[in-house]
Amino acid sequence: MIKAIRGTRDILPPSSAVWNGVEASAREVFRTFNYQEIRTPLFEETVLFARGVGAETDIVSKEMYSWEDRDGTSITLRPENTASVIRSYIEHRMDQWVGVKKLYYMGPMFRRERPQKGRYRQFFQIGAECIGSESPLIDAEVIELVVEILERCGVEGAKLLVNSVGCPRCRPSFIETLKASLQAVKGNMCEDCQRRADTNALRVLDCKVEADQPVIDALPSILDHLCGECSTHFATVKELLEARGIAYEVKPRLVRGLDYYTKTTFEFVHGALGAQSAVCGGGRYDGLAESLGSRVAAPGIGFSIGEDRLVMTIEEARGGETAAGPDLFIAPMGDAAQKHAAVLARDLRREGLVVEVSSDRKLKRALETANKTAARWTLILGDDELAAGTYSLKAMASGEQRSVKREEIAPAVKRLTAPVAVQS
């Protein structure tokens, strides 16, 4: 038997309904914040991620799915989407568009990580990029946007963590200080941290190994090394979050796993996810466009929500749900009724109802199927009903049955049929 490749999975009903609800809620929030959708290719030239994400990051050095195309070009399945969005921004000269560019995306990403709870090798992200402004006002608005999406999806208890990782003027000196401090203690840390201490010292702060945390807590804090501009920027972001009533915790060890971040970084974490607690991460990347060849400065800030983890959080909060059944199950008895039912179902679907038509010719079996599919109503249609021009409508929950005319079917069903919302 052929099975899905390790680290991938099929998203089946009823979970797929939650996914659709999450994406619909996110799209609506993006609309109200004036974001427009961008769809980039699933694969790009490998050099895009090597230059944009960072050659020494774990993503580029260990986790990417890359291969050589027939013309010799190295191609990579996208491990994240910010670099792709900025590549598109440069290629299509979006710098000439009016105003700040607000773009969002939804789709699969690919990293060859060790599969575990909430982490897959093909995973899905909902993300956004706001390009063209250095203002801390934008930082606060982007964080507010994430809060709105999580609340719209019914996620409660998510904690916002914020930090500043400085800029190219102040971060290099901090990294040198950090490297010097690590030389004396790296021998007591995990293998990854020992390697990062020399190649990418900032990423040591992002280590999740429990035994390394006391060592990391004793390392220098980047907040003590920020330049005046970065300190003012971060202070303003915090003031703007407080003005919006958004609670946060400053976490000086919070860094992002990609090299392009500057100044504001943030994460939303949720206890339902265990050790892999981050449901969203983001930050500012003011120099990324220039590193990818832009001749025009394009400061930006963005985020990505791990949709797999978000859906898991929602499903665990609900304690598991069954799939919503059809609004109406039509049980036709006989050939004439079967033909009539097909046309009737078409018309009722056009009125917005979810309709299933039975292929069983026996009423008892049709009603059993209606129950198993969790149909809210069953419409019984036989020769007597056709002759009288009325229909027998049965409420499956109560067993109540009554005769209705054609024009009464949809209003009667809709009175007890409401769309299933994402928010519980």
In order along its 424 residues, the chain shows pLDDT tens digits of 999 999 999 999 989 999 999 999 999 999 999 999 999 999 999 999 988 787 667 788 789 999 999 999 999 999 999 999 999 999 999 999 999 999 999 999 999 988 877 789 999 999 999 999 999 999 999 999 999 999 999 998 899 999 999 998 998 899 899 999 999 888 888 988 988 888 888 888 888 888 888 889 899 999 999 999 999 999 999 999 999 999 999 999 898 756 678 999 999 998 765 555 789 999 999 989 998 999 999 999 999 999 999 999 898 887 765 567 899 999 999 888 999 999 999 999 999 999 999 988 888 999 999 999 999 999 999 888 888 888 999 999 888 898 999 899 999 898 765 444 444 3
CB 109 within 8 A of CB 277: no
What is the Cα–Cα distance from 2 to 27, expressed in whole angstroms?
Answer: 35
The conformation of residue 59, written as its DSSP 8-state character, comes to: I
3-class DSSP state of 385: helix
What pLDDT was estimated at residue 390?
87
d(CA 310, CA 329): 33
CB 351 within 8 A of CB 302: no
- Residue located via tokens 């929950």: 397
Inter-residue contact 310 to 268 (CB < 8 Å): no
Q: Is the dihedral of CA 282, 286, 287, 288 positive or negative?
A: positive
| Cα–Cα nearest to 304, from 108, 135, 166, 132 | 108
Q: Is residue 85 helix, strand or coil?
A: helix
Predicted pLDDT at 322: 59
Which amino acid appears at position 399 of this protein?
Answer: G
Beta bridge partners of 284: 262, 301
SS3 167: coil
Residue 36, C-beta contacts closer than 8 angstroms, at least 6 positions apart: 102, 103, 104
pLDDT of amino acid 417: 56
Strand partners, 160: 268
Nearest to 252 by CA among 166, 181, 343, 336: 166
d(CA 262, CA 247) in angstroms, rounded, equals 22
